[in-house]
Structure 1
């Protein structure tokens, strides 16, 4: 495990991720993190809004599925705008 964490490629990737450098790898990681957070938030919101009506499990599942539908395009466009602004 120690060999994996001390690989120069992984160290460079984590450094660029922490520094805020935007390249295709860091943009994909930020997109995955945003999608996961949107799914958690959608599940919590679904449970709060419709938990008593249709059941907590179903409302959490629907909230987790529908929340990233609005978040993924917004994050993708935001990352494109940030990449454009950092280049010019």
Structure 2
């Protein structure tokens, strides 16, 4: 499976608890699309959240995020990881 990094904008003020809740919402349904969300990072001041996942496609990642209530603004394939 491919890896993807997605970006969520306009999340100014997100807290650690809010980030964890959003990540857990993804984890609860990720199996429906064969997605594996690995990690999430946030910059509450800039309002940015980043998520790393393994998935069959960017569309599968977006479907999970949409169902969880926080669609991604961008999804980028990550073909090289060290």
TM-score, length basis structure 2:
0.34
* Structure number having the greater helix percentage: 1
TM-score, normalised with respect to structure 1: 0.32
Structure showing greater radius of gyration is: 1
